[in-house]
């Protein structure tokens, strides 16, 4: 085992941050010419484009055109960088904690990945989006991360979106927008300290490189050394994102984006058997909530990513615009973990014997994966006028291809864990791999969209798309090869009326699809792609010239044709799930120095309406609480002090498939901010889960429950010039 990636359990490391400090200093030096160019900033030509302008009220996420949120006929939330900083968001999951329709606590604390659900459906597959292009996940651990510090904003589009993006889940999609070069010089250095020996340095520099302002740069970097909350496991991260924009004229712009990421960490989960966490054991005892049932000596999550993207736009004339977005990415992960699997029963004849609740069974798994991904999206936009009618036509052709080389083991064995006196570091035995092969998935899609504006008030959005998805699996276990081709058409329509007083009601219909990449074992034919469809009615309100935004939406969402398994464990394409709900969202400044953000989700209907498994009928495939709400407020005093307080409420539920042994209790978490701004300095202390509440976030259908995150404290000092 390489000492580069592994440290013995509980070993404390003396790690030097001097090389990192030197790197940040180099970044600062590199940015100084741009700082010197501030004097000339006002004379630079209008070609300089800043992506930072009004990010909260306009977005391309729902239409792929520059569209006001007020005119968008679908639920869409935009979380900007200022809001994420104020709330102390370190991860994507943190950033979405106050967004309606989002469940950020589905699997509790998990150091590997941001597990979230959108409108009751898992966003894990097909995956998140970055700059409007998919970060396709392969269904195992080759998962593309989103670096929060590298994101200018996060966009959450709720509901099906396949007309523009191809294969995507019915709940919607999460798109992160990378930090782009800015025309105005921007310089930021940041130091962060936190619990679990967290030490982080970050820098963000941007501005013009050329005297005429046609070449802009941005350099974002982060380095963290920390430990996970148990076992002395490392939680180290490196991130570097250089970017360059070339705008030789007012009609042409080319942006080059790149990201390099490196994670060296253990694996920290808080999964427990339902007996001993949700309900007591037969002898009335509970497992300690802070017990680490895994093995820090074995766990490992080493992840390396590299991405290179181009964003090109050319305005041919006042009617035609051409855009092409492309990205290549490479991901490599080396993952292994031990998981607890229930009590060891020493005396089956006596269910009240305390020895039956003294040790936990544990299993082990690992996976080594290399992923290569290519995305290409070509767009032609036409703006036409005919009397009182205006058309914004969008024609697109996109292509994506992902190749996954994977070797995975599961069902490994190791010594049971003594609950009172845990000992780690025992040998792990793995069986032969359950998967060893190369999977290649590709998709080609042709789409068209028309945004029709009539008399400046009525907006009709219609779109259609046709996709071909190819899936190939080459198995090294038996030498077999499987090829599956699936085709699917998708459509959408939306109608919005924008009143003069800032009100905008809308109606919409949208569809989604996901390839099944599976053959029917009885007929040998490929199953059809699973699909989703949604009806939504909503209302937005943005007072003219104000900083207030309000939105409300009701929706009827169905996931159809997904594979379910009958009692003989044969796949059947019979699955259908219905979700109905209401979502409210508001962002306002009732006072010049006070900002309030609130959301509420009411989901009374979440159940399976069709399945070949009778156990699933009438039950929620994934647990969704009927009520969820969040409220955040922060106030800036005249003397520079900032105070913020947030509350997040999640109602009770019965777990996935209503299978929990008892009701999973509701919980309320509090977050807080204490900050101080003076001149170029900004100081902040953020606390999430202020009361250090112990709570169960969810229970699955396999008798497991998941504890949520413990209290987390970070102190951040930021210097800007």
**Domain extents in the chain:** 18-720
Burial zone of 464 (CB within 10 Å; 0-12 exposed, 13-18 middle, 19+ buried): middle
| 573, 575, 576, 577 alpha-carbon torsion, rounded to 10° | -150
Task: Round to whole Å and give the CA distance between 64 and 79.
Answer: 18
DSSP labels, 319-357 = SEEEEEEEEEEEEEEEEEEEEEEEE--S-TT-TT-GGGG
Task: Round to whole Å and give the CA distance between 73 and 78.
Answer: 15
Could you tell me if 96 and 156 are in contact, meaning their C-beta atoms sit under 8 angstroms apart?
yes
Q: What is the 3-state secondary structure (H, E, C) of 495-520?
A: EEECCCCCEEEEEEEEEEEECCCCEC
Classify each residue of 210-219 as buried b or exposed e, where b means 16 or more C-beta atoms within 10 Å of its C-beta.
eeebbebbbb
Sign for the CA dihedral angle at 57, 62, 66, 68 comes to: negative
φ, ψ (nearest 5 deg) of residue 231: 75, 5
Q: Is the pTM of this model over 0.85?
A: yes
3-state secondary structure of 23: helix
Could you tell me if 533 and 526 are in contact, meaning their C-beta atoms sit under 8 angstroms apart?
no
Helix extents (H) in 4-147: 18-36, 81-86, 92-95
pLDDT, tens digit (0-9, with 9 covering 90-100), for 524-547: 899 999 999 999 999 999 987 667
Q: What is the CATH number of domain 18-720?
A: 2.40.170.20
Helix extents (H) in 111-215: 162-165
Pairing state of beta strands 129-130 and 172-178?
parallel
* Positions of the chain with pLDDT lower than 50, given as ranges: 1-53, 55
DSSP labels, 34-75 = HHHGGGGGGGS-TT---TTSSTTTEESTTTSS-EEGGG-SS-
Write down the pLDDT at residue 13: 38
What is the maximum alpha-carbon separation in the chain? 86
Task: Round to whole Å and give the CA distance between 539 and 501.
Answer: 13
Write down the pLDDT at residue 18: 42
Write down the pLDDT at residue 297: 95
- Edge-to-edge strand list for the sheet holding 117-118: 102-103, 117-118, 121-122
Burial zone of 264 (CB within 10 Å; 0-12 exposed, 13-18 middle, 19+ buried): buried
pLDDT, tens digit (0-9, with 9 covering 90-100), for 510-524: 999 999 989 989 888
Task: Round to whole Å and give the CA distance between 73 and 535.
Answer: 11
Could you tell me if 368 and 333 are in contact, meaning their C-beta atoms sit under 8 angstroms apart?
yes
Write down the pLDDT at residue 546: 65
Write down the pLDDT at residue 524: 87
Write down the pLDDT at residue 554: 99
Q: Residue 23 contacts by C-beta under 8 Å, 6 or more apart in sequence?
A: 221, 223
Write down the pLDDT at residue 140: 80
Sign for the CA dihedral angle at 100, 583, 627, 61 comes to: negative
Task: Round to whole Å and give the CA distance between 520 and 37.
Answer: 65
Helices (H) and strands (E) in the chain, counts: 4, 36
Could you give the percent of the chain with pLDDT greater than 90?
Answer: 85
Note if the bond before 126 is cis, omega within 30 degrees: yes
């Amino acid at each position: 085992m390489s000492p580069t990636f592994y440290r013995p359990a509980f070993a404390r490391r003396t790690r030097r941050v001097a090389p990192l400090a030197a790197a940040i200093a180099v970044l600062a030096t590199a940015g100084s010419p741009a700082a010197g160019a501030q004097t000339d900033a006002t004379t630079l030509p209008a070609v300089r484009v800043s992506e930072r302008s009004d990010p909260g009220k306009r977005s391309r996420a729902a239409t792929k055109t520059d569209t006001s949120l007020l005119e968008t006929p679908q639920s869409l939330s935009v979380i900007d960088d200022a809001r994420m900083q104020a709330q102390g968001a370190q991860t994507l999951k943190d950033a979405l904690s106050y967004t309606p329709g989002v469940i950020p606590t589905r699997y509790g604390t998990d150091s590997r990945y941001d597990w979230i659900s959108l409108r009751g459906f898992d966003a894990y597959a097909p995956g998140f989006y970055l700059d409007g292009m998919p970060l396709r996940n392969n269904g195992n651990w080759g998962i593309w991360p989103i670096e929060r510090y590298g994101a200018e904003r996060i966009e959450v589009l709720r509901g099906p979106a396949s007309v523009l993006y191809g294969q995507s889940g019915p709940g919607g999609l999460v798109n992160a927008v990378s930090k782009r070069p800015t025309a105005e010089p921007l310089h930021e250095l940041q130091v962060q300290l936190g619990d679990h020996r967290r030490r982080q340095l970050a820098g963000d520099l941007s501005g013009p490189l050329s005297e005429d302002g046609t070449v802009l740069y941005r350099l974002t970097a982060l380095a963290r050394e920390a430990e996970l909350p148990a076992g002395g496991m490392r939680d180290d991260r490196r991130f570097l994102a250089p970017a360059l924009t070339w705008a030789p004229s007012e009609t042409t712009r080319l942006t080059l984006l790149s990201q390099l990421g490196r994670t060296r960490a253990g694996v920290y989960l808080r999964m427990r058997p339902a007996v001993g966490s949700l309900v007591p054991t037969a002898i009335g005892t509970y497992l300690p909530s802070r017990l680490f049932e895994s093995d820090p000596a074995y766990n490992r999550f080493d992840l390396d990513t590299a991405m290179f993207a181009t964003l090109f736009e050319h305005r041919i004339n006042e009617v035609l615009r051409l855009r092409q977005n492309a990205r290549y990415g490479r991901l490599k992960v080396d993952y292994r973990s031990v998981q607890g699997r229930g009590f060891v029963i020493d005396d089956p004849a006596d269910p009240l014997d305390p020895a039956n609740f003294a040790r936990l069974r544990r299993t082990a798994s690992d996976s080594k994966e290399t992923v290569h991904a290519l995305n290409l999206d070509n767009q032609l936009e036409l703006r036409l006028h005919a009397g009182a009618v205006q058309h914004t036509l969008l024609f697109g052709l996109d292509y994506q291809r992902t190749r996954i080389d994977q070797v995975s083991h599961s069902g490994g064995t190791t010594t049971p864990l003594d609950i009172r006196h845990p000992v780690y570091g025992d040998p792990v035995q793995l069986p032969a791999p359950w998967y060893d092969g190369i999977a290649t998935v590709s998709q080609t899609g042709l789409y068209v969209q028309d945004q029709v504006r009539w008399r400046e008030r009525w907006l009709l959005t219609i779109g259609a798309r046709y996709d071909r998805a190819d899936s190939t699996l080459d198995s090294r276990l038996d030498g077999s090869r499987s090829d599956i081709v699936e085709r699917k058409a998708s459509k959408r329509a939306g109608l919005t009326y924008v009143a003069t007083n800032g009100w905008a009601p809308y109606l919409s219909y949208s569809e989604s699809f996901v390839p099944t990449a599976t053959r029917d074992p009885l007929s040998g034919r490929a199953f059809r792609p699973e699909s989703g469809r949604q009806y939504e009615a909503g209302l937005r309100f943005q007072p003219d010239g104000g900083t207030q935004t309000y939105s409300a939406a009701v929706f009827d969402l169905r996931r159809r044709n997904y594979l379910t398994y009958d009692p003989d464990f044969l796949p059947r394409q019979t699955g259908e799930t219905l979700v109905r709900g209401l979502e409210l969202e508001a962002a306002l400044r009732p006072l010049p120095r006070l900002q309030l953000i609130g959301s509420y989700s009411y989901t009374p209907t979440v159940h399976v309406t069709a399945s070949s498994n009778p156990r699933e009928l009438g039950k929620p495939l994934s647990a969704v609480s009927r009520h969820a709400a969040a409220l955040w407020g922060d106030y800036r005093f005249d003397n520079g002090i900032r105070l913020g307080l947030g509350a997040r409420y999640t109602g009770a539920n019965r777990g996935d498939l209503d299978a929990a042994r008892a009701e999973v209790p509701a919980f309320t978490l509090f977050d807080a901010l204490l900050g101080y701004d003076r001149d170029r300095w900004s100081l902040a202390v953020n606390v999430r889960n202020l009361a250090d509440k112990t709570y169960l976030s969810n229970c699955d259908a396999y008798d497991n429950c998941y504890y949520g995150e413990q209290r987390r404290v970070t102190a951040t000092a930021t210097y800007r010039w």
